[in-house]
A = this chain, B = another copy of it.
């Protein structure tokens, strides 16, 4: 259970934090204790400390605990230090408008894609808070656009991990995926053909840093019926064109 943390009690405390999720944003003491195989009173003390510091709040109705607003300040600092979001946003809007589809923006956090922004075209009144969401690289447009241009060593690490089949279209076989990545290198863009979500297609283009490594990727995504091969290649070119001023500048 404990894994070589220098400060074990902090390690435990962080595991408590990580119990909270989108599916279960509110948790009770016993619940957490059961999840982690820890003592109730231990969890209670950890939660009490987080609470005193503002990172966790107790819902007086349910007596359950949830993540407090304090932690948002961390994301503010991280995002500012990262700096990418603000640079990209105007370009993402332009791409969303021109394709008239949702435009996603993410960075590699191997073996996952970390989403930083989703921009909807003005015609769709919808929005989505996506900052901080993650998805596997091997079955998303953004992820494959990144994988295709990564050093072989890193790629192997990703392929070594088990690849879950999200839909019938998911490319789980390393050989098949490798062939697809080769194709992506030739085209300069990646296609996600319902590999992550059934009925959703996606075109993604990588963004390179000044050192030539993959710094980020941008995609447009929508119902498969709206993404025939013609639309895909046109969107791909459009994205590449819009992002040109950002290439090799980061």
By a beta-carbon cutoff of 8 Å, the part of chain A in contact with chain B is: 3-7, 9-11, 13-14, 17, 20-22, 25-26, 44-46, 48-50, 52-53, 55, 66-69, 71-82, 85-86, 89-90, 93, 107, 109, 114, 122, 125-134
B74 touches A71 (CB 8 A): yes
A203 to B: closest C-beta gap in Å = 23
**Can you give 6 contacting A-B residue pairs, CB < 8 Å?**
A21-B77, A66-B81, A74-B132, A76-B129, A76-B132, A86-B127
Closest to A132 in B: B76
A89 is contacted by which of B7, B10, B14, B127 (Cβ under 8 Å)? B127
A136 to B: closest C-beta gap in Å = 15
Measured between beta carbons, the chain B residues less than 8 angstroms from A68 are 78
A111 to B: closest C-beta gap in Å = 13
Q: Contacts A49-B6, A50-B10, A86-B127 given: A75-B75 contact, CB under 8 Å?
A: yes
B10 touches A131 (CB 8 A): no
B67 touches A11 (CB 8 A): no
Bound complex: CA of A79 vs CA of B115, how far in Å? 14
Q: A6-B52, A9-B10, A20-B77 are in contact. List 15 more A-B contacts (CB 8 A).
A: A3-B52, A6-B49, A10-B13, A10-B49, A11-B52, A66-B81, A67-B78, A68-B78, A69-B109, A73-B132, A74-B74, A75-B132, A76-B129, A76-B131, A122-B122
Bound complex: CA of A75 vs CA of B52, how far in Å? 19
A81 touches B7 (CB 8 A): no
A129 touches B67 (CB 8 A): no
Bound complex: CA of A131 vs CA of B89, how far in Å? 14
Bound complex: CA of A149 vs CA of B231, how far in Å? 52
B81 touches A67 (CB 8 A): yes
